Chain A
Amino acid sequence: MTPMTEPADPVVVVEDLTVRSRIGATVLDRVSLAVRESESLGLVGESGSGKTTLGHALLGYARPGLEFASGSVRIAGAELLGRPDAGLRPMRGRFISYVPQDPAAALNPGMRIGAQIREIVLVHAPDWDADRLAGELLRRVELPADHAFQRRFPHQLSGGQQQRVAIAIALACEPRVIVLDEPTTGLDVVTQGLILEEVNRLRRELDVAMVYVSHDLAAVSQVTDRIAVMYSGQVLEQAELGAIIGHPRHPYTAGLVSSVPDHRRPQHLVGIPGVAPDDPDRVPGCLFAPRCAIKIRDCEHARPPVTEVADGHLVRCIRWAETTRPLPLPRVMTPPSRQSALLAVSELTARHRTRGLTTTAVDKVSFTVWPGSCVALVGESGSGKTTIARCLAGLHAPDGGSIEFGGERLAAAARHRTREQRRRIQLISQNPYESLNPRHSIADQVGWPARALRGVSKRESQSEVGLLLERVRLPARLGERYPSSLSGGERQRVAIARALAAHPDLLVCDEITSALDVSVQAAALDLLRDLQRELELALLFITHDLGLVAAVADDVLVLERGIQVETGDVISVLHAPAAPYTRRLIGAAPTLPLVAPESGAP
Chain B
Amino acid sequence: MNADARPTPAPSAALLAGALRRLRLRHAWSTRIAAAALVLLVALVAIGPVVAPHSATALIGPPFAGPSSASPLGTDYAGEDVLSRVLAGGRTVIAFAFVATLLAYLTGGMVGLIAGYRRGWIDAVLMRCMDVLLAFPPIIFLLLLATGFGNNVAALIIGIAVVHMPGVARIIRAATLEVSVRGYVEAAVARGDRLITILRRELLPNMAGPLVADAGPRFTVSILLVAAVNFLGLGIAPPTADWALMISENRAGITINPLAVLIPALMIGLLTVSLNTLADAFASSLGTTLDTESLRR
Q: Footprint of B on A, CB under 8 Å?
A: 278, 390, 393-395, 414-415, 417, 419, 422, 425-427, 429-431, 433-441, 444-445, 448-449, 452-453, 480-482, 484-485, 495, 498, 502
Contacts and interface: CB of A to CB of B under 8 A. Distances in A.
B7 A429 contact: no
B33 interface: no
A101 B4 CA distance: 31
Interface stretch (B75-83, B154-162, B199-207, B277-285): B199-207
Given A437-B206, A439-B15, A480 B191 contact: no
Given A444-B11, A484-B2, A437 B190 contact: no
A452 B293 contact: no
Interface in B239-297: 289-290, 292-293, 296-297
A495 B206 CA distance: 18
Nearest to A418: B192
A450 to B, nearest CB: 11
Given A433-B293, A440-B201, A485 B192 contact: no
B191 A453 contact: yes
Given A437-B184, A437-B206, A484 B296 contact: yes
Contacts of B290: 438
Given A414-B189, A419-B192, A427-B187, A439 B205 contact: yes
B7 A427 contact: no
Nearest to B182: A434
A481 B5 contact: yes
A485 B297 contact: no
B28 interface: no
Counting chain A CB atoms within 10 Å of each CB, the highest count among B182, B186, B191 belongs to: B191
A394 B190 contact: yes
Interface string B1-21: 011110110011011000000
B3 A452 contact: no
B183 interface: yes
A485 to B, nearest CB: 4
B193 interface: yes
Contact of A433 (B4, B5, B15, B297): B297
Contact of A437 (B3, B197, B205, B292): B205
B17 to A, nearest CB: 12
Given A434-B182, A436-B184, A395 B190 contact: yes
Contacts, number: 94
Contacts of B186: 390, 393, 395, 427, 429
B91 to A, nearest CB: 35
A431 B191 contact: no
Counting chain B CB atoms within 10 Å of each CB, the highest count among A278, A417, A437, A481 belongs to: A437
A590 B183 CA distance: 30
A484 B3 contact: yes
A484 B289 contact: yes
Interface residues of B, number: 31
Given A437-B206, A439-B206, A498 B187 contact: yes
A427 to B, nearest CB: 5
B11 A441 contact: yes
B183 A434 contact: yes
Nearest 7 A/B pairs, CB to CB: A435-B183, A439-B205, A480-B7, A485-B5, A429-B183, A484-B3, A393-B190
B192 A414 contact: yes
B192 A417 contact: yes
7 contacts: A434-B182, A435-B183, A437-B202, A440-B205, A482-B3, A484-B2, A485-B5
A481 B15 CA distance: 13
Contacts of B297: 431, 433
A320 B192 CA distance: 54
Given A393-B190, A414-B192, A422-B190, A441 B7 contact: yes
Nearest to A510: B183
B184 A435 contact: yes
Nearest to A484: B3
Nearest to B194: A415
A445 B5 CA distance: 16
B184 A485 contact: no
A439 B293 CA distance: 11
A452 B191 contact: yes
Contacts of B183: 429-431, 434-436, 495
Contact of A415 (B2, B192, B206): B192
B200 to A, nearest CB: 11
Contacts of A453: 191-192
B289 A438 contact: yes
B187 A481 contact: no
